[in-house]
Structure 1
Amino acid sequence: MTKEPGERPSGPESTSLQEQWKAARSEVRTHVEHARGQLDQANERIKERTGRDLIIAIVIGVAIGVALVASLVFVKWAFVIFAVAAAVLGIFELVLALRVGGRRIDLWPQLVVGVALVAAGYFAEPWLCWVMLFVAVAVVVVWRFVAQMVARDGRRYGDVLADAMASGFVQVYVPFLAATALLLLRQERGEWWVLSFVVVVVAADTCAYAAGLLFGRGGRHPMAPRISPKKTWEGFAGGVVGSLLAGLFLGMYVLQVPWWAGLIFGAVLVASATLGDLGESMLKRDLGIKDMSSWLPGHGGLLDRLDSILPSAVLALALFHLLSPLAVS
């Protein structure tokens, strides 16, 4: 009996196709579950070693990265909002962390002058940014002294002085460094320089993390055991390779500078990123905390992700003035 075109199979033939389809679905499901199990096991091993949930960290990191790139490439003023919001959260985290360490820091004055300082990086003349830094530090320091005089609670002079110095440090570390990124953004083709320096720093961090997991297990060659026991020279080497490759590629094809200038760009930024990372690790160790906060799943706090980016902004601005004249138009 001949079947008409489009007629569905019936009888034994139909049963055979259904069995094949079920077998294929079962096999696919088995492979997916096996892969998921392996991924979960790997994630648990990484979480046990680093204290981070890798999957959540990757998802959040990618989401932030996409938003950052989109704001730089398509809507420059959106990055200004992004920077101001990051500075506000960073100030909040740092103030609370310093309070855990026994320092008295006034949050609201920090936020008000901090926002003004960051905004000056984009909307004011460059020299006014330095003036705003001086004003911001002066305001929070004087505010702390006045608040202590009003309190009259017998706090020791050494602690009062340490409180004032910590107050000034907050303004330099978070809003001023964020303002330098906006100073770079406002330059000609500045958005590409900001994007490039962020990508290089992220590449350095990512490659250092991967190399540390693969080759630095057990802390074979610790880099700074008293500051950050889990950081190894193997991880640093991976970070150097990643930043140099990223700097070379971005320098030639995005910044349009000679290949050797791209290597300089990557080398300087991996140094600043590493020092920034170690510097914040030392601060957290002194304060007796693991992370600046815990609101960002898989990452800790915002400053735990910006510890290598913020210090690099200053050097990225300097590299722009040194290397941008070499760009091929």
Structure 2
Amino acid sequence: MTDASGEPPGDGQPVPEVPLTRRDAADARRAPVPAESPALQSHIRAARSEFESQVAHARAEFEEANERIKARTGRDLIVATLIGLAAGAILIASLIFFKWLFLVFALAAVGMGVFEFSRALTASGRRIDLVPQLISGAVIVVSAYFFDLWLHWVVVFVAIAFVVVWRLVAQMASRDGRTYGAVLGDVLITGFIQLYVPFLASLCVVLLVQEGGEWWVLAFIAVAVASDTGAYAAGVAFGRHPMAPRISPKKTWEGFGGAVLAAVIVGVLLALFLLGLDWWMGAVFGLVILGTATAGDLGESMIKRDLGIKDMSSWLPGHGGVLDRLDSILPSTAAALALFYLFTPLVAS
């Protein structure tokens, strides 16, 4: 058979392709896929088994390390980290975008802190009036945002007097024969709750409403968190010598050294790139906040030890209660506000 040129097909000449019919294409699609060879299947199963084994081994090692850290520090590392990141994101967003949103954040934290503290004191035998405590605490925090500083001080005084008078009237109405010493202790602790939680938190709000105050709030909280993180990491890695075994047996001098290093570094960086301060001001800022944060941490540990409890509550898994996370931040508010009034005129001059 020859083509049009008289030459047989092939012999160096291309053979014209015959298009597939629809039936041929359908048959090609339905054609069975060649099965994988047994050797290839065995190799895939072995690789998958090896990968699953490595994942399980890594998970077991991580859980073992996490349990050792939890036994040493009393924290669940994974849960604590996730909650800390979530709270930090909310805090940063409220400071950067809407100052009033931080006020809501502060009100919620103060309310939960007052509730935790009041409940712990009540369990220890003290008489605490929860509703007046919550009302007074909210009024103190809100007044710091809307009122001038001198008027805010007046509100603080009136709020403390309100809860004290309420406790005295409630005690007289009860007529339960409570001793004079117990009543006096209840009154003093009633006022102390307002000073410790709402008042110190309100100083943070006072700093917030200043010009550029949101960056100062972010800075001092960042230093407090950095010092706590540095102490935690250094304590886990190198902690050998207890710092205050009768108050907080898990704190070590090695952890305190890590806190000092972290606080100074973060303080200097924030001073230079966020607050517009000199580097030495940043170092002072970091050390002062470290001092107040450490004092607040040890102070709350002493209170909990006196009450016979480990945490104020279990609302924040891996952290304890809200007040357990605010223990280092609350005393630092006064230091941060004082440093703001001290350093701002020096930079402006």
- Name the TM-score, length of structure 1 as normaliser: 0.92
The answer on whether the counterparts of 1:256 and 1:328 sit within 8 Å (CA) in structure 2 is no
Task: Mark the runs of 5 or more structure 2 residues left unpaired by the alignment.
Answer: 1-28
Q: For residues 218 and 39 of structure 2, what CA distance do their matches in structure 1 show?
A: 57
Give the drift of 1:69.
Answer: 0.8
Aligned ranges 1:58-97 → 2 under 5 Å: 58-97=81-120
Distance 2:268 2:201 in 1: 25
Q: For the structure 1 residues 114 and 35, does the alpha-carbon distance in structure 2 shift closer, same or farther, using more than 3 Å as the test?
A: same
Q: Does 1:265 align with 2:285?
A: yes
Residue 325 of structure 1: CA displacement?
Answer: 3.0
Structure 1 range deviating more: 26-35 or 51-60: 26-35
CA contact (8 A) 1:273 1:311 kept: yes
Check if 1:294 corresponds to 2:314: yes
Does the 8 Å CA contact 1:276/1:311 hold for their aligned counterparts? Answer: yes
Contact in 2 for aligned 1:257/1:328 (Cα 8 Å): no
1:235 equivalent in alignment to 2:255: yes
Q: C-alpha deviations, 1:49-84, integer Å up to 9, x for none?
A: 223211111111111111111111122211110000
Going from structure 1 to structure 2, the CA distance change for 1:22 and 1:324 (only over 3 Å counts) comes to: farther
- Correspondence for 1:147: 170
Relative distance call for 1:327 and 1:12 in structure 2 (3 A) is farther
Q: 1:18 to 1:263 in 2, by over 3 A?
A: farther
Which residue of the other structure, out of 52, 65, 82, is the alignment partner of 1:42?
A: 65
**Superposition CA RMSD, Å:** 2.0
Alpha-carbon displacement from aligned partner over 1:108-137 (angstroms, at most 9, x marks no partner) = 000111100000111111111211111111
Alpha-carbon distance in 2 for matches of 1:243, 1:313: 16
Q: Which residue of 2 is the match for residue 4 of structure 1?
A: none
Residue 320 of structure 1: CA displacement? Answer: 0.9
Map of 1:210 onto structure 2: 233
1:56 and 1:16 mapped to 2: Cα distance?
44
SS in 2 for 1:231: strand
Residue 20 (structure 1) shift? 5.5
Q: Residue type matched to 2:151 in 1?
A: L
Shift of the 162–27 alpha-carbon distance from structure 1 to 2, 3 Å rule, reads same
1:320 to 340, 343, 349: 340
- Deviations 1:7-59 (CA, angstroms, capped at 9, x unpaired): 9xx64777776666555444433332222111100111122222321111111
Distance 1:266 1:154 in 2: 50
Uncovered stretches (5+) of structure 1, i.e. residues with no partner: 1-6
For the residues of structure 2 that align with 1:178 and 1:231, how far apart are their CA atoms?
25
2:299 maps to 1:279? yes
Q: Distance in 1 between matches of 2:109 and 2:34?
A: 66
Alignment of 1:96-111 (within 5 A): 96-111=119-134
Does residue 192 of the first structure (1) align with residue 215 of the second (2)?
A: yes
- Taking only the aligned residue pairs, the percentage that are identical comes to 61
Is the CA contact (8 Å cut-off) linking 1:118 and 1:175 kept in structure 2? yes
Q: 1:275 deviation in Å?
A: 0.3
Counterpart CA distance in 1 for 2:80 and 2:317 is 7
Q: 1:254 aligns with which of 268, 274, 293?
A: 274
Q: Normalising by the residue count of structure 2, what TM-score does the alignment of the two structures yield? A: 0.87
Which of these two proteins has the greater Rg computed from alpha carbons?
2
